[in-house]
Structure 1
Amino acid sequence: MLGDATSVHVQRWAREMLARNWRVSLVTARPAPVDGVEQHVLKPVARSRDWLARVGEAKARVAALRPDIVHAHYVTSYGYLAAHVPGVPRVMTAWGSDLLVTPQRNLALRWLTGWILRRATLITGDSADLLALAHRWAPAVPTELIHWGVDLARFRPTPWATKPGAEAVSLRSWEPNYQIDTVLRALALVRKERPDVRLHLLGGGSQETELRALAASLGLGESVDFHGRVDDAGMAAALARSKLSISVPVSDATSVSVLESMASGVAVLATDLPANRAWLPAEALVPAGDAQVLATRWLALLVDDALTRRLAAANAERMARDGDRRAQMDEMDRLYRMLLSSWPPQ
């Protein structure tokens, strides 16, 4: 695998494949402990163009491993490195912004994205719109919908009666794309009618100073808690207390935090994006950046507990049917073995 060892998604993927008897090595520019995974650390990457200078080093690291399969996570960084590795099946997993945002910046990045994808043997992504973009750039390369899935043993519904009446949570990072400022502005509007409402922010990120200042300027006081980054147990505990989870980024593929919220039996309000339409009903979708609409929907759920509970129950049922991480990783295991059985191509 090529990817950030600091990413919980890369860590989970690696552990799932270890559990399926694969030997997993990780070539990474951002190391972090991952039990059972041999890591080969590249020179640090500070700027996007640094990836161009890591090709030779990455090729040497991979060649020394003599892998059966190379799998890159994030097309426009580690995918670029994997595209230069010869002689093995190359799997590339698109994460969202690598296809939805980065290629839109200029013509050169669009050309580079297409070149990377056309070097893949298999492309995976966690939403249909992501795979449609990949197919547009690399129509001859097979694509498969594989989402990150949820640990349904950890993220599961808790009794509705144990949840405080007006608590909500956001699991998204405190970065510009995730529009936490919009959530805070909506909270200020909601508090005019429901001063008892409380919001827990769990993401952490570079905008902490600005968001804390905004909360103070809006007079939110103790109605908002800035928890920062927490582990899976911390997220599960926050979801167990909450009836509502809010996720309103400008751009996104299938969000693990949305899936975890759904699996926890929580109602969700999310941006009206193609990936979210695949998981949530129309009444749960809001325009990006519109604090007024978000506040209106939020208040409606506070007023109508039966509606909130119905949406939450439907979310839990959907995830029990379609959201199990083990099933997704079983499918990925099958795809790996299929690639090996048909390699080298005739």
Structure 2
Amino acid sequence: MTAHHICLLGDANSVHVQRWAREMLARGWRLSLVTARPQAIEGVQQIVLPPVRRATDWLWRVGAARRAVAALAPDLVHAHYVTSYGYLAARAGRHPLVMTAWGSDLLVTPKESALKRHLTAWTLRQADGVTGDSPDLLAAARVLAPGVRTELIHWGVERARFAPAPWDGKPGFEAVSLRSWEPNYAIGTILEAFARVHSTHPQARLHLLGGGSQEPALRAQIAQLGLTDAVQVHGRLNDAGMAAVLARCKLSISVPHSDATSVSVLESMACGLAVIGSDLPANRDWLDARMLVPAGDARALARVWGHLIDQEAQAREAGARNAERIARDGDRRVQMDAADAMYRRLLDEWKGRAP
């Protein structure tokens, strides 16, 4: 029996797209990928679009994307990120069509102008199903496109890789940020808060994972704050590298200005770390209210951070609760099984219709 063919549209260099593709391959689907940012994924045929350097470039990739999808002739199309690949998939006109919202595409972009709101709403209306990883994200989809079918599916955690390390074997009190070095993720705020913490807790250490356009500014800030010996800048690491750093740490920091459910928050929780997050709806679904701080408030972040160092037993208890929560609700296998079931349901609904 020939495997059904899913055509993904998304950034091949995104770890999230790579993980999704591998999960679907493991479930017996045939996968192809249309992408403007290529990176090899074993078992996945790719058609590469011309590079995208600015937001308006997506409008000029419609023809190439349409030809790519037509040439691949998949049974189902699934676009990751509504306001870029989702728009291209909508213009390609092939069904069934699934879109996955990532956060800013629905929580930020539609608020930037009336035109962006109109285009986002139109794009969503072309989808046969929209997935998102937090209730507020799916609510935003339904406001923009009333009647659109939504399904709560988050990225989940590979618990065999991201698992708690013995707390007593961790040196000192090390913290980590896994977020990208872009303005939304407020890494500068984390550094400002850490400077306050380090002044009263000189044993504290911070690891920065990620990468992004703000790297020069962040390195300059580290030097200016006199934190060169206390902050280790790792950049982008693979899953094994991330897990190794997390195994050293007791605290994870994620304080973006806008976000849906963060994979890095879930992975930190799975590793048994205490997690401080910005006070956003998605974080309220996962974290204790005492671990939430206003986005951009370095003083509030430093207060909670310092308290956890002083009261390490509370940090340890928070980490244990986090690991238990992910074991109950955050397993990637369960989430990807839900995605697999959604695909099969849509294919059954479209059986017998013209492509």
Structure-1-length-normalised TM-score: 0.98
Q: Are positions 1:102 and 2:109 aligned together?
A: yes
After superposition, what is the alpha-carbon deviation per residue over 1:248-297, rounded to whole angstroms, capped at 9, x for unaligned? 11111110000000000000001000000000010110111111110000
Counterparts in 2 of 1:239-254, with a 5 A limit? 239-254=246-261
Q: Distance in 2 between matches of 1:86 and 1:293?
A: 48
> Residue 310 of structure 1 is aligned with which of 317, 325, 328?
317
Q: Are positions 1:214 and 2:221 aligned together?
A: yes
Counterparts in 2 of 1:152-301, with a 5 A limit? 152-301=159-308
Q: Are positions 1:322 and 2:333 aligned together?
A: no
Q: Are positions 1:339 and 2:346 aligned together?
A: yes
Residue type of the alignment partner of 2:48: V
Aligned partner of residue 155 in structure 2, secondary structure: coil
Asked if the contact 2:273–2:322 (Cα under 8 Å) also holds between the matched residues in 1, the reply is yes
After superposition, what is the alpha-carbon deviation per residue over 1:307-346, rounded to whole angstroms, capped at 9, x for unaligned? 0011000000000011110110001000000001111598
Q: Distance in 1 between matches of 2:14 and 2:97?
A: 20
Residue type of the alignment partner of 2:96: P
Asked if the contact 1:67–1:88 (Cα under 8 Å) also holds between the matched residues in 2, the reply is no
Q: Are positions 1:66 and 2:73 aligned together?
A: yes
Q: Distance in 2 between matches of 1:295 and 1:86?
A: 50
Residue type of the alignment partner of 1:137: L
Aligned partner of residue 10 in structure 1, secondary structure: helix
Residue type of the alignment partner of 1:326: R
Q: Distance in 2 between matches of 1:87 and 1:261?
A: 38
Q: Distance in 1 between matches of 2:138 and 2:168?
A: 41
After superposition, what is the alpha-carbon deviation per residue over 1:197-242, rounded to whole angstroms, capped at 9, x for unaligned? 1101011211111111111111113011111111111110111000
Query: Structure 2: which 5+ residue stretches go unaligned?
Result: 1-7
Residue type of the alignment partner of 1:63: A
Match of residue 132 from structure 1: 139
Aligned partner of residue 204 in structure 1, secondary structure: coil
Residue type of the alignment partner of 1:343: W
Match of residue 19 from structure 1: 26
Closer, same or farther: CA 196–133 of 1 in aligned 2, 3 Å: same
Q: Distance in 1 between matches of 2:74 and 2:191?
A: 48
Q: Distance in 2 between matches of 1:29 and 1:208?
A: 23
Asked if the contact 2:96–2:350 (Cα under 8 Å) also holds between the matched residues in 1, the reply is yes
Deviation at 1:21, TM superposition (A): 0.5
Deviation at 1:68, TM superposition (A): 0.8
> Residue 45 of structure 1 is aligned with which of 41, 52, 56?
52
Matched-pair identity in %: 66
Aligned length: 346
Aligned partner of residue 163 in structure 2, secondary structure: coil
Match of residue 4 from structure 2: none
Q: Distance in 2 between matches of 1:151 and 1:126?
A: 16
Deviation at 1:85, TM superposition (A): 2.4
Q: Distance in 2 between matches of 1:29 and 1:87?
A: 19
Closer, same or farther: CA 112–268 of 1 in aligned 2, 3 Å: same
Asked if the contact 2:178–2:210 (Cα under 8 Å) also holds between the matched residues in 1, the reply is yes
Residue type of the alignment partner of 1:94: A
Q: Distance in 2 between matches of 1:214 and 1:103?
A: 32
4+ residue segments displaced more than 6 Å: none
Query: Structure 1: which 5+ residue stretches go unaligned?
Result: none
> Residue 81 of structure 1 is aligned with which of 68, 71, 88?
88
Match of residue 5 from structure 2: none
Residue type of the alignment partner of 2:119: L
RMSD of aligned residue pairs (Cα, Å) = 1.1
Q: Distance in 1 between matches of 2:284 and 2:166?
A: 27
Aligned partner of residue 83 in structure 1, secondary structure: helix
After superposition, what is the alpha-carbon deviation per residue over 1:154-205, rounded to whole angstroms, capped at 9, x for unaligned? 0000111111122111111111111111111111111121111110101121
Aligned partner of residue 176 in structure 2, secondary structure: strand
After superposition, what is the alpha-carbon deviation per residue over 1:97-140, rounded to whole angstroms, capped at 9, x for unaligned? 11111111100000000000001000000010000000111122
Asked if the contact 2:77–2:94 (Cα under 8 Å) also holds between the matched residues in 1, the reply is no
Q: Distance in 1 between matches of 2:211 and 2:64?
A: 32
Match of residue 156 from structure 2: 149
Q: Distance in 1 between matches of 2:70 and 2:255?
A: 42
Deviation at 1:43, TM superposition (A): 1.1
